[in-house]
Amino acid sequence: MSPELETLDELQGGDLPIAVVSRFYSDADAFRKGIGGLLSCGDVSLLTADESVVPEWRWKKLLAENAFTEDLRVCA
């Protein structure tokens, strides 16, 4: 199963911390491409600790800088 499908499959059970989701991918570059594609298509959303959706401009910057923090979660 592709890491993107694994991400979507695992998210059916609920939100996951970004650190958990990143383990589905072979390396940091694959993670950035895979999660970036899922975010761009609207298949998943990135949430802050207070459950606010991270806006596109911010998650794009986080992806570019590989600057995700432990408090971020991914939801489907």
With 90 as the cut, is the pLDDT of residue 52 above it? yes
Q: Which two tokens stand for residue 38?
A: 């899922």
Distance in angstroms (rounded) separating the CA atoms of residues 21 and 32: 11
Each residue of 1-45: pLDDT tens digit?
Answer: 899 999 999 999 999 999 999 999 999 999 999 999 999 999 999
Looking at residue 25, what is its pLDDT?
A: 94
Mean pLDDT across the stretch 49-72? 92
> Hey, is 47 helix, strand or coil?
strand
Give the start-to-end residue ranges of the domains of the chain.
Answer: 3-75
Looking at residue 74, what is its pLDDT?
A: 94
Q: Which two tokens stand for residue 34?
A: 């895979």
- Amino acid in the structure at residue 24: F
- Provide CB contacts within 8 A for 27, sequence distance 6+: none
What's the gap between Cα 29 and its chain centre? Answer: 13
